[in-house]
Structure 1
Amino acid sequence: MNNALSLIVAVALSGAGFAWTVQAIADTVVKIGHAGPLTGSQAQSGKDDERGVQLAINELNARKMIIGGQPVTFEMISVDDQADPKVGVNVAQQLVDKGVVAVIGHYNSGVSIPAARVYNDAHVVMITGASSNPALTILGFPYVFRLATNDNEMGARMADYAAKTLKAKRVAVVDDRTAYGSGVADVFVQQAGQNGLSVVAREYGTDKSTDFKAILTRIKTENPQVLFYGGYYAQAAYLARQMSDLGMKAVLVGGDGICSPEFSKLSNNAFDNRMFCAQGGAPLDRLPAGKAFREKFNSTFNTDVDTYSPAFYAATLIVADAMQKANSTSAPVFSKVMSEATFDSLLGPVKFNAQGDWVHAPVTVYRLTGGKLEPLVAR
């Protein structure tokens, strides 16, 4: 073979090798989905969660991980479920079709519950850092996990707090008829009865309501000391402003759906020192790595942590940790590790029970003070 021909063969082989290398790198991309409300009244929460996932993805890629003998690059695919169950099912199928092996989401229980079947049937892991309705894990789907506290804990905790700390005797309840809002309100009502509280009114809105004057006028005649709202912060803010307009003296309490710094802004701080809420997890700044997380989050996104970005961040890292422990990026393989192993996380030790719920998930009660949520009681 002459020198010219040798050079041509060498270049051809080199090109083939280069092409093979590029293909090998492409084959190691692991797609992680995020799903939540990125538009609409709950977009602040959806974007906060998305940022938590992205921050974890950035850190994982900086580690240059090897799984199954191959270098792995993680890629986030984020979709907007609009806080709508029908849209949620559609985008869940879109994520499956795009080849994700895990989805970090959804935010709303009413979206997570129907979407969970799509993921489970496709053998894709779903882990939510927010959806709290117990019905999600009662489904018994082996690919579904919850890194959050469920409504049985949060609704009951706020009923206990209303009775034992706020010393209330008469309470009113309003919910938005979503899976989350009605679920946490039902638990509050049940526990309120066990605490000897009198539920003097039970009213309803929707997750898009802006006018609560009629139901509040009825409630005011019953003179409750506490009003529990089962729903999300945007509607809770409208409710609070209209309670103030009507001169109602009742304290406002709720679950994690209203436990957002956005509540203060949207309500014009109408309920400073008169709003209390429960949130899953320990206060971020009391966690060993909490302050460092907040600083990284702020410097990366030029905004502060809202509510559940730490949980969505931790959930993403738990999925990657399970892959490493399983030495596989295949969901049927690493999902079994998620079911069996204990994980270290930003939130503390994480172990899932047979239903996919976080064992001994903590709960913290917060008070709105000076426009900020101040942690009061943790368990």
Structure 2
Amino acid sequence: MLEKRMVSARLRVLSLLSLSLLLPFSLVCGLAQAEDLIVRLGFSSPLSGPQAPAGKDSLNGVQMAIERLNQQGIKVDGKVLRFELLIKDDKANPQTGAIVAKELVDAGVKAVLGPFNSGVALATSKIYNDAGVVSLTVASNPKVTQPALNHVFRIAASDSDMGSKMALYAARTLKLKVVAIVDDGSAYAQGLIEEFQKTARQNGIQIAHKAVISDKATDFGGVLNNIRAARVDAIFFGGYVPQASAMLKQMQQLGMPTLFLGGDALCSSVMLVQAGASVGDRTYCVQGGVWLTRVSDGAVFASAYQTKYGSMPDVYAPTFYDGVMLLAQAMKSSNSIDTRSFLPVLTRLRYKGITANYEFDARHDMKESTVTILRFQDGKLTPLSSF
């Protein structure tokens, strides 16, 4: 009888371990088996406010990867790795992000998945770097990665790729001649717009009007009337979904058929929810990597994601999933969870992910930066070209 009770208790502990991703970090620590080697990871993205859908999608990707790794039971130094996650809401705010970064450092995480936003990444990169904590970010502003910040890696395309290639597509495929730019004032918009403008002008596109708005603005009547007077072929918007969707609604009310172009922040199903019918078929965006449904591994990931969360993955779930797998591979290859050991391996690692091949240059940007141009059409995002 005693033996049966011991077996039953053992099964209960295993059951609790399988639910560890759903528990607070402090509780999970107490559930790990003594022989496991605990790897503490952090996550920083917006989980509240207007950008929460993007942050939660990214978090889902991280949690799927951790769940898979914990099921695989990979070994380092003869011990099974057990990954645990400390989740932080940085609210897409640089000041909050800095507080979050210090909390994650103090908690002893080996690496952080995030931040999501360029402004937050610019405010936290040095904090993570100085503490010897690896940061795997999708923030696209080119200034996020620097040779001096050797613990910071960008695991998505930068604005140098997305802004310039959207401009090439606008000039060569859409045959645009005159464009207006709307800038929400964020660090994300700054990098994206700089690259778009430079390549657009080099390819014969005239920037006829430029407006700077607040990233909390809701009324764009004056801006749109000025743009209409400039007789442009398209608007290039540097910013996020909340303002983009509001602008599209007001464009529809004003009867403006102007094309609407933006960066990866707009390549989201949330646009369809928030903009509704006003998104029409005139809205284009650019995203790093090959579109998920165009690669076999992507289709498998999308199916697993939908089964787990009840919806299709959005912009960066597969990228953050790959980020966790990158870390695990670096630790396995170096046979260590010590950052000083796995960091050099991560720096030179070649890894085939879901939608991209990961290999880093001297700045820790990706060497291969394919982007995909997409269009909102018939109530869904349709990939048009990857290059």
- Length-normalised TM-score, structure 2: 0.90
Alignment pair present for 1:105 and 2:114: yes
CA apart distance, 1:206:
2.2
- Structure 1, unmatched stretches of 5+, are 1-21
Alignment pair present for 1:223 and 2:231: yes
Residue of structure 2 in register with 1:153 after alignment: 161
Residue of structure 2 in register with 1:310 after alignment: 318
Tell me the distance in 2 between the aligned counterparts of 1:26 and 1:182: 48
CA apart distance, 1:23:
8.9
Q: Name the amino acid aligned to 2:258.
A: A
8 Å Cα contact 2:288-2:369 kept in structure 1: yes
Q: Name the amino acid aligned to 1:211.
A: D
Residue of structure 2 in register with 1:52 after alignment: 61
* Worse overlay, 169-178 or 266-275: 266-275
CA apart distance, 1:248:
1.3
Q: Which of 112, 120, 128 is 1:119 aligned to? A: 128
Residue of structure 1 in register with 2:176 after alignment: 168
Partner SS state of residue 97, structure 2: helix
Alignment pair present for 1:186 and 2:190: no
Alignment pair present for 1:35 and 2:64: no
- Structure 2, unmatched stretches of 5+, are 1-30
Q: Name the amino acid aligned to 2:134.
A: V
Q: Name the amino acid aligned to 2:199.
A: Q
Q: Name the amino acid aligned to 2:376.
A: L
CA apart distance, 1:259:
1.3
Q: Which of 79, 82, 97 is 1:73 aligned to? A: 82
Q: Which of 233, 237, 254 is 2:241 aligned to? A: 233
The 5-angstrom pairing of residues 120-135 of structure 1 reads 120-128=129-137, 130-135=138-143
8 Å Cα contact 2:36-2:79 kept in structure 1: no
Tell me the distance in 2 between the aligned counterparts of 1:342 and 1:201: 43
Partner SS state of residue 120, structure 1: helix
Q: What's the RMSD between the two structures over aligned residues?
A: 1.6
Q: Which runs of 4+ in 1 moved over 6 A?
A: none
CA apart distance, 1:183:
1.4
Residue of structure 2 in register with 1:273 after alignment: 281
Partner SS state of residue 367, structure 1: strand
8 Å Cα contact 1:155-1:188 kept in structure 2: yes
CA apart distance, 1:302:
1.9
Tell me the distance in 1 between the aligned counterparts of 2:108 and 2:368: 33
Partner SS state of residue 138, structure 1: coil
Q: Which of 140, 145, 156 is 2:148 aligned to? A: 140
Partner SS state of residue 277, structure 2: coil
Partner SS state of residue 269, structure 1: helix
Residue of structure 1 in register with 2:306 after alignment: 298
Residue of structure 2 in register with 1:371 after alignment: 379
Q: Give CA-to-partner distance per residue, 1:250-285, whole Å, 9 cap, x none.
A: 100011011111112211221321001110010111
Q: Which of 206, 213, 234 is 2:214 aligned to? A: 206
- Length-normalised TM-score, structure 1: 0.92
Quickly say closer, same or farther: Cα 1:344–1:159, change in 2 above 3 A: closer
Residue of structure 1 in register with 2:346 after alignment: 338
In the comparison of the two structures, how many residue pairs are matched?
358
